[in-house]
Structure 1
Amino acid sequence: MSDIEFKKDGHTAHVKLNRPQGLNAITQEMDDLLLKAWTEINGDPDIWTVVLSAEGEKAFCIGADVSGGAERKSRMALAGGLTGIGGPLVKLKKPLIAAVQGFCVGGGFELAMCADIIVAADTAQFGLPETKVGIIGECGVVHRAMRQLPHHIAMAMILTGDRIKAEAAERYGLVNEVVPYAELATTAQKWADKVNGASPLANQAAKVAALDRLGYPLEVALMTKFEEIEQYAASADKREGEVAAGERRKPVWTGR
């Protein structure tokens, strides 16, 4: 079986890290497969949401596989470039839901923070262990933590290497929901189904607008015109939303 599983179920794509014996640390081969998955997802109009998960109860992901010391043909872009670490940043157009359990540390924590929605098992632990073991490299995980956690919580994690548990992560607003491990997969799918209830094209346009101007002053964001929003205005889904509202029924989205 592949170390990266990729399948489509209805309008949801499922990407699974499948290397539990290595705590789902990402190898160069996995990195390449992830890039292939993100590329296919971005290009397939019938995929509306993505669920990213990992095999095994012990760990979601502990980052890049640094064992063996084998020389790579090219510099690794962690998680197929989704994180932006080590290579060009891949922007996933579709809403991404991460289902996290066990250790979610280092580059694995970075990967989880790339998601739009995070569902965590009550076994999950989030951390940045780099400085604790005397390592500091690309700081993607540091920058994301500072933006997604309260300032002093993020700094304490960065400077001590201490992990926070799922309940604390939920309290700090890092995760959307905490559930028993046995319910993690079904809960992530429920979130995907809920997201799929909205117009997929409107969701994609909203994601671009929300994230692409996140680091800008509000005045700049308010004055920005987004191509995706302009395109949505002429879409069949936009017309379907209007017709459905007039007929007082649920819209039937096509993603077109």
Structure 2
Amino acid sequence: MIGAEESGVRYEKKGHVAYVTLNRPAVLNAMDLRMHEELALVWDDVEADDEVRVAVLTGAGDRSFSVGQDLRERARRDQDGVPPSTFGSRGQPGWPRLTERFELSKPVIARVNGYALGGGFELALACDLVVASDQAVFALPEATLGLVPGAGGAFRLARQLPLKLAMGYLLTGRRMSAAEALRMGLVNEVVPADQLDEAVAGWTEDLLRSAPLAVRAIKEAVMRSVDMPLEEAFSTPFRWEQRRRHSQDAVEGPRAFAEKREPVWRGV
């Protein structure tokens, strides 16, 4: 059961925030197939529950966010004759995984402490915001293991960094510090480890002050239009924008401003 001590994932909801914890600290939160199956149920619930406005994804313990794929499990599957995976997770347990949940409308914050390697870094790249401790380390070491960053790392890093920088990290597996990731724009904030929870709370509070339908509309519009010609982006109908535009919240915001009071968001 999700949330049980023996589970690979802990899932809690507090107020309007869902907290998702990769829970295999003994193996630095390496992700096995069971974890992926549990995470699929979690992300389904995050999207379906309108009381949830923000999700925070992190790893158990203080050593690792996640070191990615459980390579011991992968080696056993190789011995059993299971075909090697490639880009994407279609047909595998837990599909669509977060890295392929292109329709997920809620913002997700990655809370990163320690190692974010391989699939762990790919998870962070798929999140909307990343808050990291100064002890965080990021890398995509797949090339050094005879693998590829199949959970989107090859695609997202080349979109989020200048191409030469991205290729340097992708082809060599070089590690980057939290400070380097911040300088290159891959994370939103870096703080000392003992201030990480406070920093994450600051971002969640800011997100919760925003109207939930506006947040979902903006996320959808940005993510769907990022590769569109600008003219096409302006003329594209976005589903969550249509809902926001005709919502009570679209009226409540200007009214609250005019009445000099805090808005009361309904999310409908």
- TM-score band (shorter)? over 0.9
In structure 1, what is the Cα distance between the partners aligned to 2:171 and 2:149? Answer: 14
Which residue matches 1:24? 29
Which residue matches 1:151? 163
Secondary structure class of the residue paired with 2:234: helix
Query: Does the aligned pair in 1 maintain the 2:116–2:137 contact within 8 Å?
Result: yes
Question: Offset at 1:182?
Answer: 1.5
Which residue matches 1:61? 66
Which residue matches 2:222? 210
In structure 2, what is the Cα distance between the partners aligned to 1:138 and 1:26? Answer: 14
Secondary structure class of the residue paired with 1:99: strand
Query: Does the aligned pair in 2 maintain the 1:54–1:61 contact within 8 Å?
Result: yes
Q: Identity across aligned pairs (percent)?
A: 39
In structure 1, what is the Cα distance between the partners aligned to 2:214 and 2:169? Answer: 36
Question: Offset at 1:160?
Answer: 1.3
Secondary structure class of the residue paired with 1:67: helix
Which residue matches 2:251? 239
Q: TM-score, normalised by structure 1?
A: 0.92
In the alignment, which of 36, 60, 82 is matched to residue 98 of structure 2? 82
Which residue matches 2:109? 97
Moved over 6 A (4+): none
Distance 1:30 1:101, change over 3 A: same
Runs of 5+ consecutive residues of structure 1 not aligned to the other structure? none
Q: Which amino acid is 2:38 matched to?
A: L
Which residue matches 2:148? 136
Distance 1:203 1:137, change over 3 A: closer
Q: Once the two structures are superposed, what CA deviation does each residue of 1:146-169 show, in whole Å capped at 9, x if it has no partner?
A: 111222221110111101000010
Query: Does the aligned pair in 1 maintain the 2:140–2:169 contact within 8 Å?
Result: yes
In structure 1, what is the Cα distance between the partners aligned to 2:136 and 2:147? Answer: 23
Q: Once the two structures are superposed, what CA deviation does each residue of 1:7-44 show, in whole Å capped at 9, x if it has no partner?
A: 11111111011111111111111111111111111011
Moved more, 115-124 or 228-237: 228-237
Secondary structure class of the residue paired with 2:72: coil
Q: Once the two structures are superposed, what CA deviation does each residue of 1:169-222 show, in whole Å capped at 9, x if it has no partner?
A: 000010010011122122112101111110011000110000011111222112
Query: Does the aligned pair in 2 maintain the 1:128–1:158 contact within 8 Å?
Result: yes
In the alignment, which of 116, 127, 134 is matched to residue 139 of structure 2? 127
Residues 1:10 and 2:15 aligned together:
yes
In the alignment, which of 241, 246, 251 is matched to residue 229 of structure 1? 241
Query: Does the aligned pair in 2 maintain the 1:16–1:55 contact within 8 Å?
Result: yes
Q: Which amino acid is 1:75 matched to?
A: Q
Q: TM-score, normalised by structure 2?
A: 0.88
Secondary structure class of the residue paired with 1:202: helix
Residues 1:46 and 2:72 aligned together:
no
Moved more, 233-242 or 170-179: 233-242
Residues 1:165 and 2:177 aligned together:
yes
